[in-house]
Structures are given as C-alpha cells and as structure tokens.
Amino acid sequence: MDWSKYVELSVPQLRKLFDPFKQNVWVEDPVTIEMVREAIQRGSLNATPFLSIRDKGRGPIWTAQEHADRIAYLAVYGWTEPIILDVGVPALGCYVYNPILDGNHRLAAAIFREDETILTETSGAISILETLLP
C-alpha cells in the first residue's frame, strides 16, 4: 500500500474504531443520527465550520442541535477536505482516545450518508491503518 498524503479509508471500519455519534466528541448531550435527519427535514443546515470547543476561551460552544445542523449541512452539500486521522503507535506506547484530529462532523456526515469511503490524511501505525482500507 502506498501511504501517500491522502488515502481513502473505509467509513464502516472507521466507525468501528471511532463513532462520533457514540463517543460524542462535541457536547455533553448526545448528537444523534435522528437529530441530523430531522435537521435536514426542517432545512436547518449550518454552513459555518466549527472551531474546536477544546479551547473554551476562544472557540464557540455549540449545542447538540447546532452540531447536528452542521452534520446535516455536510450530509446534503458534501465537502472537499480530508479528515485528519492519527491512530497512534500502540507498540511504542502512543495511544489515542479520538483518532480524528479534524473532521468529526465530516465523518459523522459520511456515516449518516452511509458512504463507503472517506478521504483522509493519515498518521500512526501502518498495521492499524491497513485495517481501515476499503
């Protein structure tokens, strides 16, 4: 496998590794697939890219519904940027809780749309990354 800068990886396999609907990376209240479906039905689509909530002093704090609205927008209109993925290197003691460094909304939209693959910029253990190939 040629691990060039961008690689198409399997959405179902990524979902097994990290599902943003189950791990809920954005807020304390869960963001659900049903919320995304309802946002699309209402036409409540959020085109504004999200700034990280990890730095609460600078980034906006969105509600669960605002996150669902962002995912709904991406599910309808798509995106061109890859998600950025780091699976760590467990053999060297480097473990990650959330391998998605950037692109949780995009991955959630791909899961919602049942996409087979998603474009990624990858780093980490090749043996783990190979399990994510389509």
Task: From first to last of the 134 residues of the chain, give the pLDDT tens digit.
Answer: 555 678 999 999 999 989 999 987 877 788 999 999 999 999 999 998 876 544 455 555 788 999 999 999 999 999 999 999 998 888 888 888 888 989 999 999 999 999 999 999 988 888 888 888 87
Distances in Å between the Cα of 30 and the Cα atoms of 9, 33, 66, 99, 100 are: 25, 10, 12, 19, 18
100 phi/psi in degrees, rounded to 5: -90, 105
Only one residue has tokens 């697939």, namely: 33
Q: Which of 93, 103, 96 is nearest to 129 (CA)?
A: 96
Sort 87 into a burial class: Cβ within 10 Å, 0-12 / 13-18 / 19+. buried
Residue partners of 56: CB distance under 8 A and separation at least 6: none
Q: Collapsing DSSP states into helix, strand and coil, what is residue 31?
A: coil
pLDDT of 53: 47
